């Protein structure tokens, strides 16, 4: 088992013991397949924050596949359910960033041809989801890949956000671009991109304010940041990641919809997955938005942000056919 997959499995311990155990209890080996089984499985999925609509769709597909496969007992449904969840959650997706400059190419942003060399990642989400910590963890991953990230703290609404970002930047040995509290976030983003190009940094990580999704004016502020980034770097932001608190369950779904409509999200990061016994929200959000879950937070350490593996997740929840 690869290290990332192992860390994912370890981080899903509570979800496996709660949500996953419920699924496995229903899909017990040698139990006959009947209406009561599907009713119990539906209840389990809904209680695990998968949502009614998604649960209904998944079970309809499970019944169809079970009929085609000639499945006769509940244990045989496990592998079919793993397949369905894996397919719906989609293949693993890396960050889609322009390639780092090769040695001798010159500073990022000034490469030959039209391809941009400065990659820009915009990170959004509401207060309390662990967004600034996620930015630091992304920077840590990028450093390990040989990248040269720069952090931009565009949350000028909360003074503590800059203090937190400064601590992370110093710990990682990275530059941090920030302004005084109350400054225009778009101006911070502008200065950050310019600083990255001037200093030879090839990835800009833009941390934004933890805005409440119900406040239209604040969402518009994020749109303005996005426009500035797009004007300064071709194709930017190359990734727009929404950070969601995994312990919030389906309460996160409406937040995700609003951010996606406003900013055209490219990926989801679900934090605090080690702290929830309900793992179904991963499925609900993926189905509702069609946006891939790219990373999950499974602990407190810098390297506890791991790539999301749909099949590994499904197997942790459902188990194997012979179990």
Residues 99, 114: Cα–Cα separation, whole Å: 13
Is residue 77 a part of any domain in this protein? yes
Q: Give yes or no: residues 62 and 135 share one domain.
A: no
Check: CB of residue 66 under 8 Å from CB of residue 33: yes
In 3D space, the residue among 213, 243, 237 whose CA is nearest the CA of residue 135 turns out to be 243
- pLDDT of 232 > 70? The answer is yes
pLDDT at 115: 44
Q: Is residue 101 part of a domain?
A: no
Are 268 and 291 a contacting pair, CB within 8 Å?
yes
Count of structural domains, the chain: 2
Domain assignment present for residue 287? The answer is: yes
Residues 6+ apart with CB under 8 A from 186: 154, 221, 224, 225, 227, 228
Extended beta strands in 101-251, E state: 119-124, 149-153, 176-178, 203-207, 239-245
Model confidence, pTM: 0.91
Show Cβ contacts of residue 198 under 8 Å, excluding neighbours closer than 6 positions.
107
Instruction: Identify whether 96 is part of a domain.
Output: no
155 and 50 in a single domain? The answer is no
Q: What is the CATH number of the domain that holds 155?
A: 3.40.50.300
Q: Report yes or no: 304 and 269 within 8 Å, Cβ to Cβ.
A: no
Statement to judge: residues 41 and 125 lie in one domain: no
User: 53 and 124 in one domain?
Assistant: no
> At 58, which CATH number?
1.20.120.140
The CA distance from 305 to 298, in Å, is 6
Per-residue pLDDT at 179? 95
The pLDDT tens digits for 254-267 are 888 889 988 999 99
pLDDT digits (tens, 9 = 90+) for 132-145: 999 999 999 999 99
**Higher local confidence (pLDDT), 215 or 116:** 215
For 117-174, what is each residue's pLDDT tens digit?
799 999 999 888 999 999 999 999 999 999 999 999 999 988 788 999 999 999 999 9
Question: 209: which residues sit within 8 A by CB, 6+ positions away?
Answer: 154, 155, 156, 157, 158, 161, 185, 218, 221, 222
Q: Measure the CA–CA gap between 11 and 299, rounded to whole angstroms.
A: 7
How far is it, in rounded angstroms, from Cα 130 to Cα 172?
17
Q: Are 142 and 251 in contact (CB under 8 A)?
A: no
Whole domain around residue 296: which residue ranges? 119-310
Answer whether residue 231 is part of any domain: yes
Per-residue pLDDT averaged across 297-320, rounded? 92
For residue 113, what pLDDT is reported? 39
């Amino acid at each position: 088992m690869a290290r990332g997959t192992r860390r994912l499995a370890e981080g899903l311990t509570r979800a496996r013991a709660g949500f996953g155990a419920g699924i496995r209890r229903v899909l017990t080996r040698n139990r006959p397949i009947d209406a009561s089984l599907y009713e119990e499985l539906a209840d389990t999925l809904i209680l695990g924050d998968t949502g009614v609509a998604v649960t209904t769709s998944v079970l309809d597909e499970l019944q169809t596949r079970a009929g085609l496969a000639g499945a006769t007992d509940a244990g045989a449904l496990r592998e079919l359910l793993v397949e369905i969840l894996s397919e719906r959650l989609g293949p693993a997706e890396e960050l889609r960033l322009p390639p780092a400059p090769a040695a001798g190419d010159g500073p990022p942003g000034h490469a030959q041809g039209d391809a941009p060399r400065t990659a820009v990642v915009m990170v959004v989400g509401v207060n309390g989801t662990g967004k600034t910590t996620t930015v630091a963890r992304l920077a840590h991953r990028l450093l390990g890949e040989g990248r040269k990230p720069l952090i931009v703290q565009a949350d000028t609404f909360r003074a503590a956000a800059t203090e937190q970002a400064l601590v992370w930047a110093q710990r990682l040995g990275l530059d941090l671009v920030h302004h005084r509290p109350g400054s225009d976030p778009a101006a911070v983003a502008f200065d950050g991109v310019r600083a990255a190009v001037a200093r030879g940094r090839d990835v800009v990580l833009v941390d934004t304010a933890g805005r409440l999704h119900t406040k239209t004016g604040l969402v518009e502020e994020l749109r303005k940041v996005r426009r500035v980034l797009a004007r300064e770097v071709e194709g930017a932001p190359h990734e727009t990641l929404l950070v969601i608190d995994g312990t919030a369950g389906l309460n996160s779904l409406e937040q995700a919809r609003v951010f996606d409509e406003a900013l055209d999200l490219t990926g989801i990061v679900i934090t605090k997955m080690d702290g929830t016994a309900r793992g179904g929200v991963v499925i609900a959000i993926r189905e509702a938005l069609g946006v891939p879950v790219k990373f999950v937070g499974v602990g407190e350490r810098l390297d506890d942000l791991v790539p999301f593996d749909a099949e590994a997740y499904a197997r942790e929840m459902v188990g194997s056919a012979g179990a």
